[in-house]
Amino acid sequence: MRRLAIVVFGWWIGFMALSANAVDLPDFTELVEEVSPAVVNISTVRRVNDGNAQFFGNAPDMEQIPEFFRHFFGDQFPRGGGVPREAQSMGSGFIVSHDGYVLTNNHVVEGADEIFVRLVDRRELKATLVGADAKSDLALLKLDADDLPVLKVGKSSKLKVGEWVVAIGSPFGFDYTVTAGIVSAKGRSLPNENYVPFIQTDVAINPGNSGGPLFNLDGEVVGINSQIYTRSGGFMGVSFAIPIDVAMDVMTQLKETGTVKRGWLGVLIQEVNKDLAESFKLDKPRGALVAQVMKDSPADQAGLQPGDVITGFDGTDIGLSSELPHLVGRIAPGKKAELNVVRNGREIKIDVMIGQLPGESGSPTVAPAKAEAQGNALSLDVRDLTDAEKSQLQVSGGVLVTNIYPGPAASAGIRVNDVISSLNNHEVKTVEDFNSVVEDLPKNKSLPVLIIRNGNPAFIVMKVD
């Protein structure tokens, strides 16, 4: 009897200990009730051919898979001929302003012909894509609505590893699914994702969660759920979110110009291991080792050399080489930054004027000549073509569009990286030609513009107000 009493007493003590620990676990109910109205479901329609449909089969839930696999594993699926059809994909997002701005992932809406946003009250609104940035995987949408609920924006820089976080989204189409976990790590660099210091969590994220918010326990958005590491195609305990500090900077630029400008240093770097640290007379492995300096780049103009080890950037210590692109990318082109560099065992400081990250076409970081948007009636920035670009396009001249602002050019459908070779039947070979023609453009008349887009010439019509 005494032995039984001891066993019962021991069980009771264990139960009370578990109960005490359970009391310490967070309760997410109030948080979820408060923030859910500003979380949205995003669905897209994209007109494709039947080649993909034959590959994926006809199961209804398989429509979610192309977007998911394309983002995490690259575009591995066949694209054949066939009868055009409408493919649908699904993701999540959240409202950031009362007048209808919505943040989500770029891969959720990329290539979409139509975008629809469903609110918690079951309203479904058609959304307009304001701008998207593939490098950060972010997109900004606009709804034609007012007095919408919004989320509080926190500071991802204040997150601590081990802190509780909550995700809300629509995995597999199950709206307003809540999952929770902890911050596993900060500042993660992923392959082909050089400009985002990801937040790693163990929050369950699946197809359809993409673009949804990640909250701290104060109900503030601290990240945007974007990617997972998986070998099975499903959640395996490792997920990644874009820090909200990065997202808000990108959103501001997308809202103002529709594009994102990033800082560029112009060096190829590598990690510093123990042996390299010793050979470069470092006290421990740290910093980013400069393997190559690109000719005429900001780094070249500042005097950086191969073999330099960058240990600090604008007051921030560099522990791993992967940290440097994140820091450089967030500096606005044209601003100065101070580098801490170890050269031949001596620490020196070097000032560098940050350039603009070249585009996909490999355009140079500094435009030879530029027409500022506020200085012309078309509301766009242009620069002269380089000799290499003229040769590639087989033209004798033209101006490359580098930025688009709300105005006549944007309304006409002109895009960044278009080449304008004729304006109102006047040949345009240089920025000087462009400025001269723009000054004399007639108002409120339809004007022909000859552009070259992706190597193909085409006329479009523009009207200057």
- Tokens coding 358: 């070249």
pLDDT at 329: 87
Give the separation between CA 242 and CA 253, rounded to whole angstroms: 16
Residue the block writes with tokens 């001929």:
81
Give the separation between CA 249 and CA 279, rounded to whole angstroms: 39
Q: Which of 43, 89, 92, 137 is an active site residue? A: 137
| Dihedral sign of CA atoms 393, 397, 402, 407 in order | negative
- Tokens coding 4: 């039984």
Q: Which of 89, 210, 239, 379 is an active site residue? A: 210
Residues of the chain with pLDDT under 50: 4, 7-8, 50-83, 360-374
465 is catalytic: no
The domain at 37-143 falls in which architecture? Answer: Beta Barrel (2.40)
CA 270 to chain centre: 23
Give the separation between CA 210 and CA 169, rounded to whole angstroms: 8
Give CATH for domain 370-463: 2.30.42.10
What fold does the segment set 263-356 form as a domain? Answer: Pdz3 Domain (2.30.42)
CATH for the 152-257 domain, from 2.40.50.100, 3.30.450.40, 2.40.10.10, 1.20.1250.20: 2.40.10.10
**168 vs 35, 198, 317, 464, CA distance in Å?**
9, 18, 34, 45
CA angle 81, 82, 86 (to 5 degrees): 115
- Tokens coding 330: 């967030």
Nearest to 417 by CA among 351, 359, 346, 374: 359
Amino acid found at 208? G
pLDDT at 453: 86
137 is catalytic: yes
Provide the greatest CA pair distance for the chain.
105
Residue percentage of the chain with pLDDT more than 70: 81
Give the separation between CA 326 and CA 321, rounded to whole angstroms: 10
Q: Which of 71, 89, 92, 107 is an active site residue? A: 107
- Tokens coding 458: 């085409």
Rounded to two decimals, the pTM is 0.64
- Tokens coding 350: 């070097």
Q: Where are the domains of the chain?
A: 37-143, 152-257, 263-356, 370-463
pLDDT at 394: 75
**160 vs 183, 197, 217, 220, 245, CA distance in Å?**
7, 14, 12, 14, 15
Domains 37-143 and 152-257 share a fold: yes
Please, which residues bridge with residue 214 across strands?
167, 223
279 is catalytic: no
Instruction: Give me the torsion for CA of 384, 386, 391, 395, rounded to 10°.
Output: 10
Q: What is the pLDDT of residues 426-443, one digit of tens each?
A: 888 898 889 888 888 888
